[in-house]
Amino acid sequence: MKEKLIKSLIVVCFCFFVLNGCYDKEVGGVVVNNEESIQSAVSEINRNDRLAFDTNLTINKNKIRINQEVKLEITLNNNSEIEYKIGTGDKVFKVYLENKETEIIQKILPITSNDLMKFKTLGKKNSLKEVYNYSFTKQGIYNIWAVAEIYEIIDKDYKLTEYKTNIIEITVE
């Protein structure tokens, strides 16, 4: 019992010194302030929060001809056990296309956007899905991806978070 109390006291003191900047860590002969380690811990927590949502892009064909339609299916999944009240607007996803030869990136969908904000609850393990049909007018090799723009209500304020899907390569012949 006494040993546990002493160990707990040592841990508490160490944490106090770290949080108050009294402890510097030396790495390779260079003194690194503890603020960096605290910031990395905070960013790790933030990164884990972002993992609550998962995005995915699928297409029905990777090789197509000019003016042939390709079906793009984009999903946003709530992987967490928390229900989110989110603003979806008219369209959740913006689709981007990069010509690999010219490296020019352009937003291709949606063509128009509606600024009307609609809020819905994205419940536990729920997902949003949008399906687009798109046809390419020029030959080439393209990278295509989507970004979900989600407005979360946090403490009666809006926070915009973007979730990028995987990148898919399409060849247009």
* Whether residues 8 and 30 fall in one domain: yes
What is the rounded distance in angstroms from the CA atom of residue 105 to the CA atom of residue 147?
13
Closest CA to 173 of 141, 145, 143: 141
* Whether residues 105 and 135 fall in one domain: yes
CATH number at residue 102: 2.60.40.2360
Confirm whether pTM is higher than 0.75. no
Tens-digit pLDDT profile for residues 72-118: 999 888 887 777 767 666 667 889 999 999 999 998 887 655 555 56
The structure tokens 């393990």 sit at 125
Report the number of distinct structural domains present in the chain. 2
Quick one: CA dihedral 16, 17, 18, 21, positive or negative? Answer: positive
Tens-digit pLDDT profile for residues 20-54: 555 445 444 444 555 555 555 445 545 545 557 78
